[in-house]
A and B are shown apart, each in its own frame.
Chain A
Amino acid sequence: MRTVAVVGASLAGLSAARSLRKQGFDGRLVVIGDEPHRPYDRPPLSKEFLAGTLGEAELALETEDEDLAAEWLLGTRATGLDHTARAVRLADGREVRADGFVIATGAVARALPGSDGLAGVHTLRTLDDARALRDELARGGRLVVIGGGFIGAEVASTAYALGLDVTVVEAAATPLAGPLGATMGAVVSGLHADHGVRLLCGVGVKGLSGEHRVDAVLLEDGRSVPANIVVVGVGARPCVEWLAGSGIALDNGVKCGADGRTSLAGVVAVGDCANWYDPRAGHHRRVEHWTGARERPEAAVATLLAGGAVEPGVPRPPYFWSDQYGVRIQFAGHAGEADSVTVEAGAADDRDVLAVYRRAGRPVAVLGMNQPRLFMRVRKELAAATS
């Protein structure tokens, strides 16, 4: 393999580029990114960066003396993959020919229909999104966060600390019930009320009101919540439109084997756009976690360099973290598989808790709030139990 093109220049793309060099690839390496920025870390965008305690230089993922001997094509979007010609087409008309391809184009934040062109309405996914939101939050006022998931909750927590009046609107009866289950979802989202942030659950959003700038969020039950800043945190969808017509199998992102291989030879996919087969579960899962974006490229790159002849290792249970209102939240595993949840240390009411999720007595997931030491112990047991 003489040339590899990595399409996507965030954590998954950078991890793939690093893995390529680490695994001995010494050919031409081209990294393509639609944002103009070098790879940066996204988790602080809803927390320290938004709060103004962390600057842009500190978001950089590359170290100062790092040199991957890669060609960086930044600020240009991939518009097509021509598998027959072995080429990626770019929006600026250029074309990158390569023998191997790593698809790492990530996901984009879902917007609220009809909110285009209304000032004060934000999504949070990129550095540019975060810059714009940070500048608005600095002016203060009333913030309404639509969506009580992790991004929404982190923004609410950060904005609360900055002194804004914050309301979170969540369509489901319990926020975070998807990733954490209803019981612990209620415990974690209880952090909002603990700090005087209003949480309106079980009600959808009908639309936004305002002439040029948003002035309220209109709810489906007829209520109107005043707002001069709105953050829409209703999830993300994989960036795979550009692969239409390439012949690659798409199904909730790029469909991959347990080793990252796609339906096209010499093409692997990693990160938030990739729907990997999970051999333990017996089905595909698309996991939008920082840790997956960092860890999986190693296996995918091994697959690419070996021409698809490697036996994939068993991945560790997915892991993610969140910091809200000064509480460190950690989660590993799959809550959806559990038939019971038990608090094993601390107390839910104190938001200082270790909860273990089990199915038929076997641990399948673990949640920690301010319990890093115990959490890691159970996380290791979980990996051993499910490997």
Chain B
Amino acid sequence: MMIPACRLADLPRGEAFRLDTDPPVSVFHTDDGEVYAIDDTCTHQDASLADGWLEGCEVECPLHASKFDLRTGAVDSPPAKLPVRTHEVVVEDGMIYVRLSTDAPNLPPCISARLAGGPA
């Protein structure tokens, strides 16, 4: 599914835009001008990566410092152990679109339980 996120002009370099999908997805505009989309929730604990520390092609979770590669979703720092999903980004006529991945997301235990209908 292809969903419109925001206008490229409205997303300055170094900033992120969170899409309220379920689970939420965030679009990052790097300082080098690249645009990437990944699942917004850290795979370790419920935290929004859009609030994280963006440096180069990596975002650091705002809570516990796990780092994710925006290009691959790979985690290269504890405490998170699982990668985040990446999503395809298309920029057309100045608009950023995200094609949602069909892979299963890696959500932290508390969120997985909620989505499964279990206790939060």
Q: Give A residues with C-beta under 8 Å from B.
A: 11, 14, 41, 43, 54, 58, 60-61, 63-64, 290-291, 294-295, 319, 321, 328, 330, 372-373, 375-376, 379-380
Contact = CB atoms under 8 A, between A and B. Distances in A.
Interface stretch (B19-27, B76-84, B88-96): B76-84
Interface stretch (B4-12, B28-36, B59-67, B97-105): B59-67
B57 interface: no
A89 to B, nearest CB: 30
24 contacts: A11-B78, A14-B78, A43-B79, A60-B81, A61-B78, A61-B79, A63-B82, A290-B64, A291-B65, A294-B65, A294-B78, A321-B63, A321-B64, A330-B62, A330-B63, A372-B47, A372-B51, A372-B63, A373-B48, A376-B51, A376-B52, A376-B53, A376-B62, A380-B53
Nearest to B14: A380
B51 to A, nearest CB: 4
Contact of B78 (A41, A54, A319): A41
A328 B78 contact: no
A291 B109 CA distance: 22
Nearest to B82: A63
Which 5 residue pairs across A and B have the least CB separation, nearest first?
A373-B51, A376-B62, A61-B78, A63-B81, A372-B62
A294 B44 CA distance: 16
Name which of A14, A63, A330 has the most chain B CB atoms within 10 A of its CB. A63
Given A54-B109, A63-B81, 14 more contacts: A41-B79, A63-B82, A64-B81, A290-B64, A290-B65, A291-B65, A321-B64, A372-B48, A372-B51, A373-B48, A373-B51, A373-B62, A376-B51, A379-B53
Contacts of B51: 372-373, 376
A64 B62 CA distance: 24
Interface SS of B by simple majority: loop
A319 B65 contact: yes
Contacts of B62: 330, 372-373, 375-376
B80 to A, nearest CB: 9
Nearest to A44: B79
B69 to A, nearest CB: 13
Nearest to A66: B81
Nearest to A58: B109
Contacts of B53: 376, 379-380
A43 B52 CA distance: 20
Nearest to B110: A53
Nearest to A375: B62
B24 to A, nearest CB: 14
Nearest to A373: B51
A160 B62 CA distance: 27
A294 B79 CA distance: 10
Nearest to A291: B65
B25 to A, nearest CB: 17
A39 to B, nearest CB: 9
Nearest to A380: B53
A291 B65 CA distance: 7
Contacts of A64: 81
Interface string B102-120: 0000000100000000000
Name which of B79, B82, B109 has the most chain A CB atoms within 10 A of its CB. B79
Contacts of A41: 78-79
A373 to B, nearest CB: 4
Name which of A295, A375, A376, A379 has the most chain B CB atoms within 10 A of its CB. A376
Nearest to A65: B81
B44 to A, nearest CB: 9
Nearest to B75: A63
A328 B63 CA distance: 9
Contacts of B48: 372-373
A22 B82 CA distance: 19
B59 to A, nearest CB: 11
Nearest to B65: A291
Nearest to A368: B62
Contacts of A330: 62-63
A290 to B, nearest CB: 8
A63 B80 CA distance: 9
A375 B79 CA distance: 20
A376 B48 CA distance: 11
A281 B22 CA distance: 45
B82 to A, nearest CB: 8
B75 to A, nearest CB: 8
Contacts of B78: 11, 14, 41, 61, 294
